[in-house]
Structure 1
Amino acid sequence: MEYLQIRKATTKDLGTVQLIGRETFFETFADSNTEEDMKKYLEDSFNDDQLSVELSNPDSLFYIAWEDESPVGYLKLNKGNAQTETLDEMALEIERIYVKTSHHGKKVGQLLYEKALEVAQQQHNSYLWLGVWEKNPRAIKFYEKNGFKAFDKHIFKMGNDEQVDIMMKKEL
């Protein structure tokens, strides 16, 4: 890996977020889901209108990991009403840490996680939380290694398929 930098994304980065989001989600989950559900999820979650709303939301923060001038992953954080579950004002949600398969094992996910931790500390959050698919042991192991513990479950809608996410949190 040459030079890795984490930069805050704005609405001007919509195309980059869209590209890396679609690519990394497909790489990670296409083999475990139907083509129909994957197509529906990618269209619903990464279309221009949806991403424009998300990038414009003051309660959501996006950070892109760049290797030189190539985007290799991104982080999405939510506070307040932007959280996918209503927890409390002291919570910061990691909604997405997406890293290109070509960069797995190269500490990109760790650097994005450390950015989330830095933001949570700057905002004086009490804890970080996230939902991770119960059938994604690699991600579960990553979060456990970083001090997260399971505390509940919720449903994640993947196209027309309802999947179970393990909700995990880390006290700060």
Structure 2
Amino acid sequence: MDIHIKACGQEQAHTLLSIGKETFYDTFAAQNTEKNMNDYLAQAYTIERMEAELAEDDSFFYCMFVDGVLAGYLKVNIGDSQSEPMGEDALEIERIYIRKAFHRQGLGRRLLTYALDLAGRWDKSEVWLGVWEKNEPALVFYERLGFRRIGEHSFYMGEDEQTDYLMAKTLKEET
């Protein structure tokens, strides 16, 4: 299996949007009503929003190719682009999206490791992310890799208020 991770930009906006919709639906549709899912996808996954995210100075997208096929992507944020105010020493992993056909191959872990490496290169002391409270496999995955729960925030899936657990991993102690 030949795996490459590289920065992606505006030229991949439509492809990233498609993968985002596909993976979000595949992951969360079974636990949500069709109406709430469709309302959320229509609001959260637009080409205008994707292009704006790609244009953010402190947001970075990385595409993962497996044997030349785009298998998924990683989105990380620093500074003011973080979805919660975690400070200049933190890096947020906003998305690790792997297409269903590429699941169970260790690719999510590989993108997570890539994000941790970025945080180290960028001299960040902490990496954090949000995980839906009902996504038990993801919660277990991140806990096994040293993330701990530090809080929570609400979001709306259509009309349904839901909770994300905020989880963080300390990379180096503050001096």
TM-score tier (shorter): over 0.9
CA distance in 2, matches of 1:97, 1:88: 21
Q: Which amino acid aligns with 1:76?
A: K
SS in 2 for 1:147: coil
CA contact under 8 A between 1:20 and 1:71: conserved in structure 2?
no
RMSD: 1.1
The correspondence of residues 138-149 of structure 1 with structure 2, limited to 5 A, is 138-149=137-148
SS in 1 for 2:49: helix
Deviation at 1:102, TM superposition (A): 2.2
Per the alignment, residue 9 of structure 1 pairs with 8
Deviation at 1:133, TM superposition (A): 0.4
The correspondence of residues 71-86 of structure 1 with structure 2, limited to 5 A, is 71-86=70-85
**5+ residue gaps, structure 1:** none
CA distance in 2, matches of 1:146, 1:58: 29
Per the alignment, residue 96 of structure 1 pairs with 95
SS in 1 for 2:87: coil
CA contact under 8 A between 1:44 and 1:50: conserved in structure 2?
no
Deviation at 1:21, TM superposition (A): 0.5
Instruction: Please report the TM-score for the alignment, with normalisation by the length of structure 2.
Output: 0.94
Using the aligned pairs only, state the percent identity. Answer: 42
SS in 1 for 2:75: strand
Per the alignment, residue 125 of structure 2 pairs with 126
Deviation at 1:66, TM superposition (A): 1.1
Instruction: Please report the TM-score for the alignment, with normalisation by the length of structure 1.
Output: 0.95
Instruction: Check if 1:28 corresponds to 2:23.
Output: no
Deviation at 1:111, TM superposition (A): 0.9
Per the alignment, residue 55 of structure 1 pairs with 54
Provide the aligned length of Structure 1 versus Structure 2. Answer: 171
Deviation at 1:38, TM superposition (A): 1.0
Deviation at 1:40, TM superposition (A): 1.7
CA distance in 2, matches of 1:104, 1:142: 14
- Runs of at least 4 residues off by over 3 Å: none
Deviation at 1:86, TM superposition (A): 1.0
Per the alignment, residue 38 of structure 1 pairs with 37
Deviation at 1:157, TM superposition (A): 2.0
Q: Which amino acid aligns with 2:160?
A: D
CA distance in 1, matches of 2:117, 2:101: 26
Per the alignment, residue 153 of structure 1 pairs with 152
CA deviations 1:11-34 (Å, max 9, x no partner) are 111011111111110100011111
CA deviations 1:64-99 (Å, max 9, x no partner) are 111123211111101111111112111110111111
Per the alignment, residue 168 of structure 2 pairs with 169
CA distance in 1, matches of 2:150, 2:31: 25
